[in-house]
Amino acid sequence: MMFFSSSRCLLRKITIRKSTSILSYLISSSSQSLLKPLKTSEHSFFSSTITSRVSFCSRPLNLDEAEVPASIDYRSLLEEDEYHKLADSTIHDLQEKFEEYGDCSQVDGFDIDYGVRTINQVLTLKLGNLGTFVLNKQTPNRQLWLSSPVSGPSRFDWDKSSQAWVYRRTKANLLWLLESEVEQLCGEPISLS
């Protein structure tokens, strides 16, 4: 449903650009470019096209409260040094636990890669044909981003009250989500907490 709304908004932008381009062409093609007013029919066409497209995407989405992500309290964001300490610790702990799990696992193509690409560290867990998990730091947002073959992309913020990385939209705990999805794919339980 979100993809559908985004597509409509993109369509709206394209339509407005086309209308604006046509309007610019009509104005510039006349000999008295800026002085010649639009004909009544041209004005009606452009006015109705632009107005209908703008109001189309300006309406509220009418999402349930559960579907709307919680607002960010920017005062609660971590300081950068504290963020790096928590994120690095989480990534390193996960790397160690995934390595232990891989030693006991019978998954073909199981591989763990930890690398520093640009500023953000990236942990990649490859499960052969079952899929690949990618976890990386997003320092400007003070988040950990996860790409999962099961649930797709998620952005986790540090929740001070639960002392865990939590996805604001679904309230999912990063470690619990990974435990559930890795077990779902591999068929063997894993403990990451």
The pLDDT assigned to 126 comes to 96
Does residue 58 surpass a pLDDT of 60?
no
The pLDDT assigned to 181 comes to 97
Name the nearest CA neighbour of 139 among 97, 98, 91: 91
| 96 and 182 together in one domain | yes
Question: pTM to 2 decimals?
Answer: 0.60
The pLDDT assigned to 89 comes to 95
**CATH number assigned to the domain comprising residue 137:** 3.30.920.10
Does residue 5 surpass a pLDDT of 70?
no
Does residue 134 surpass a pLDDT of 70?
yes
Residue 5 CA: distances (Å) to CA of 8, 69, 86: 5, 17, 36
Could you write out the DSSP letters of every residue in 171-185? TEEHHHHHHHHHHHH
| Domain span at 106 | 76-186
Lowest mean pLDDT among 14-23, 135-144, 164-173: 14-23
| 43 and 135 together in one domain | no
Last residue of a domain, one of 12, 27, 58: 58
More confident residue, 6 or 119: 119
Contact criterion met (CB below 8 Å) for 192 and 178: yes
Whether 101 is in a domain gets the answer: yes
